Homo-oligomer: A and B are copies of this chain.
Amino acid sequence: MKKNRAATEEKIYEAFLSLLKEKGPQGVGINAIAKEAGVSKELIYRYYGGLKGLLLHFAQKGDFFKSLLFINQKSSSSVSDLQHFAKEGTKELRENKLTQEILRWQLLENNEDTKDLFKFTNSQIGKIFAINDKDTSLNHAFQLMIGGYVYFTLLSKFNKNFITTDLTKDETWDNFDNALEKTIELFNKE
């Protein structure tokens, strides 16, 4: 057979991304990655230093959130800016499966292996939604609603509904977007 380390490393990394996207945190094990990549698992240890090293590589490369980098240029301040960030952010969140699975991961564990990955993800999330540390009711309400958006997005993978709300309908997400927008507006008016 042909031998090509660079290509093999790429196959392993792509297999990891693919599995994380499809199966979530539970799906990324050494055996599963090796099988998906069609390669001996020994090479994962040799080239990346196991799953731990693979995660570190992932965190440093940081090519989740790729499609969002255009946003975090300006520093938000005005109300319409905040509304814009919110709308763009929620849309992206719903479409980016990889990010969703990392966020799901944070609800399951946080050990030495995942530490760096989560740290970087969080800073990116903060930028996307323009979340600052102002101690205002609006900011707290905003964070709560972003958290809710994340929650419902993750929930929708396995559950059709939250109580009576149908998470599969586009209308539901439009309603959430509008409620978020209106809340910002109301807080700003008073």
Contact = CB atoms under 8 A, between A and B. Distances in A.
- Chain multiplicity (copies): 2
Interface of A: 24, 26, 104, 106-110, 118, 122-123, 125-126, 131-133, 135, 137-138, 140-141, 143-152, 154-155, 157-159, 161-165, 175-176, 178-180, 182-183, 186-187, 190
Contact of A147 (B132, B143, B148): B148
B180 A107 contact: no
Given A106-B159, A107-B154, A163-B131, A179 B141 contact: yes
Contacts of A137: 175, 178-179, 182
A122 B158 contact: no
Contacts of A165: 133, 143
4 nearest A-B residue pairs (beta carbon): A147-B148, A148-B148, A140-B179, A144-B148
A155 B165 CA distance: 23
Nearest to A105: B158
A65 to B, nearest CB: 14
A140 B133 CA distance: 25
A125 B163 contact: yes
